Structure 1
Amino acid sequence: MTTICLVRHGETDWNLLGKIQGKTDIPLNDTGRKQADECGAYLNADDYDILISSPMKRAKETAEIINSYLNLPVIEMADFAERAFGDGEGLTLEERIKKYPDGNYPNQEEREDFNNRVMTGIKKVCDAYPNERVLLVAHGAVIGMILSNLSNGEIGSGKTKLMNACISNIHFEEDQWEIKDYNQVRHLSSFAEKGSI
């Protein structure tokens, strides 16, 4: 059985302001670094064989902080970089609704292309690391797309708001992927009293 633990990157200033980031390469803020640190402290090195990260700053920094606890071999995969949101990047939700009420941002990566890129990445991971335990640090839209594919649209993209530094777990067994859990935040001090959502 191949397992993948999906971790969304920690918070950035643009996350805090509600601005869509996409390919704009924004670093973590102090809250995001704390969230990554809490992920690292929570995860157990014995549970994973390799760490894969998106090449974007916010994901790489999250992965580096987590790996300061785990000391896993690390590889970067561009397949898991965030979706490009074109002219929508840098705008708040309010600004996006006002400027692009149909939700279609000029110059954004087409949904089908994005889906194919991300799911091709998942297949590459499954083929390269059969029966291994993978920790994958990526982005909200990337993880949302994976969860949407595996749940036939019941959760993920457009349905589930994934929190910064949340954890989701998927397993590949008997030729199919299954979602074990998603959007887990009990390891984060800011949600400690609320539990998972």
Structure 2
Amino acid sequence: MTVRLWGPGVAVPVVGAAPATTIALVRHGETDWNRERRIQGATDIPMNDRGRAQSRATAERLAGGCWDAVVTSPLSRSAETATIIADRLGLAEPDLLPALAERRHGTLEGLTTAERRRLEAEAVPIEGLESRVSVVSRAVPALLWLATRHPGGAVVAVTHGGVIQSVLLHLWERASLPSGSVTNGSVHELRVSASGLELVASDAVAPVEATGS
């Protein structure tokens, strides 16, 4: 099944013939709700100490590259991760990029994944749940915009599991990924060039694995 996640009428920045830009999508460090397997969405849950350790480990991993800037979702768990990374890379304070905020989950927020499955099995209406198409329609143009700001450069973009999953599904043209494939502190390298947005490397499962083959 091929699913192209894209919204109609979305204005996409034109990269043109500018040099390729590297963007590292990073998921924030763990929160207590992550540990409890609760759905966070737009609820602003802070990182815990394990999440800070994960963020420092990711920063060390990225320290081997040459980065120009760090941007982040405005939610505190992402912003703190971005600050830890920017400090380690010797870069300026991260800029906030609202389009990278987590997918809104409406009435699901605060529930455990088991509670969510029970509601879905009962076909209970879920108010306020943002579609993946909506997430892609704001996140992808924001990533292309970053490339116009840093042509030929490299940017770390700290965001959330729901955003990263939506972007990966869009690029891989998949309907779903296995649960837990985008872990806290994971890195997913993208390249933006005249040919568009492409995935270079990812800590998540490979596309063929996502099929269950």
| Matched AA of 1:25 | D
In 2, Cα distance between the equivalents of 1:123 and 1:171? 10
Pair 1:29-2:48 in alignment: yes
Instruction: Give the secondary-structure state (helix, strand or coil) at the position aligned to 2:129.
Output: coil
Task: State the match for 2:67 in structure 1.
Answer: 48
Say which of 45, 55, 60 aligns to 2:79. 60
Pair 1:167-2:187 in alignment: yes
Which is further off, 159-168 or 54-63?
159-168
Q: Deviations over 1:65-123 (max 9, x none)?
A: 11221121321100000011000000111111112325862111233222211122122
Which is further off, 113-122 or 103-112?
103-112
Structure 2 gaps of 5+ residues are 1-19, 205-213
* Cα RMSD (Å): 1.8
In 2, Cα distance between the equivalents of 1:96 and 1:46? 40
1:1-197 superposed matches below 5 A: 1-44=20-63, 46-73=65-92, 74-101=94-121, 102=123, 105-153=126-174, 158-160=176-178, 161-183=181-203
In 1, Cα distance between the equivalents of 2:96 and 2:64? 19
**Structure with the greater relative contact order (CA < 8 A, sep ≥ 6): 1 or 2?**
2
After TM superposition, the runs of 4+ consecutive aligned structure 1 residues lying more than 3 A away are none
Which is further off, 91-100 or 39-48?
39-48
In 2, Cα distance between the equivalents of 1:91 and 1:44? 36
Q: Which TM-score applies when normalising by structure 2? A: 0.79
Task: State the match for 1:191 in structure 2.
Answer: none
The answer on whether the counterparts of 2:144 and 2:192 sit within 8 Å (CA) in structure 1 is no
Larger-gyration structure (1/2): 2
Structure 1 gaps of 5+ residues are 185-197
TM-aligned CA distance change 1:108 to 1:47, over 3 Å? same
Q: CA deviation at 1:15?
A: 0.4
Instruction: Give the secondary-structure state (helix, strand or coil) at the position aligned to 2:57.
Output: helix
Q: Percent of aligned positions with the same letter in both sequences?
A: 34
Q: CA deviation at 1:140?
A: 0.4
How many residues are treated as equivalent by the alignment? Answer: 181
